[in-house]
Amino acid sequence: MSDLLERLRARGWRLTAQRRVVAEVLNGDHVHLTADEVHALAGARLPEISRATVYNTLGELVALGEVAEVGTDGRAKRYDPNARTAHQHLVCGVCGTIRDVHPDGDPLAALSPAERFGFDVLAADVTYRGVCPDCRRD
Ligand SMILES: [Zn+2]
Ligand SMILES: [Zn+2]
């Protein structure tokens, strides 16, 4: 379970009503919302929250390293509260649903020294692609 709110409290991030609602909307597992989705969900709880506030808050959370941006090619950027937990993504090519997955082994270790080309390799993002059960027609 993502503990975004707890992490933000521990960092002393000033939790205004608007920031809290954005963080609450993002809290959880397998959460990968677009900025527009965050705005719609936050607006249901706090009708006066503006799109600009949502975008600014998302930008701050990314800058803090507490929320990760997930790019899924050709679709809107998504925001992932599990920024502190190493995981990879499983993406449905039809509807764009994303699940957090934890493959066996360390993806960094899978790259041999010869293929590192002298780089200090710091992270690996692996995307598994497929068709989710809702989109699959049996
Ligand atoms: Zn799907
Ligand atoms: Zn994720």
Residue 105, beta-bridge partner list: none
Tokens of 42: 């936050």
pTM: 0.82
Of 6, 17, 105, nearest to 54 by C-alpha is 17
Residue 107: count other Cβ atoms within 10 Å of its Cβ.
14
3 state SS for 101-132: ECCCCCCCCCCCHHHHCCCCCCCCCCEEEECC
Tokens of 30: 């397998």
Cβ–Cβ < 8 Å for 81, 26: yes
From the CA of 26, how far away is ligand 1's center (Å)? 21
From the CA of 18, how far away is ligand 2's center (Å)? 23
10: Cα separation from own chain's centroid: 20
From the CA of 93, how far away is ligand 1's center (Å)? 7
Residue 64, beta-bridge partner list: none
Q: State residue 123's pLDDT score.
A: 86
Tokens of 37: 């989705």
Cβ–Cβ < 8 Å for 21, 58: no
From the CA of 47, how far away is ligand 2's center (Å)? 27
Amino acid identity of residue 57, one-letter, is: T
User: What tens-digit pLDDT sequence spans the chain (138 residues)?
Assistant: 568 999 999 999 999 999 999 999 999 888 999 999 999 999 999 999 999 999 999 999 999 999 999 877 677 899 999 988 889 999 999 988 899 999 998 888 889 999 999 999 988 888 999 999 999 987
Q: State residue 36's pLDDT score.
A: 95
Q: State residue 75's pLDDT score.
A: 77
From the CA of 128, how far away is ligand 1's center (Å)? 13
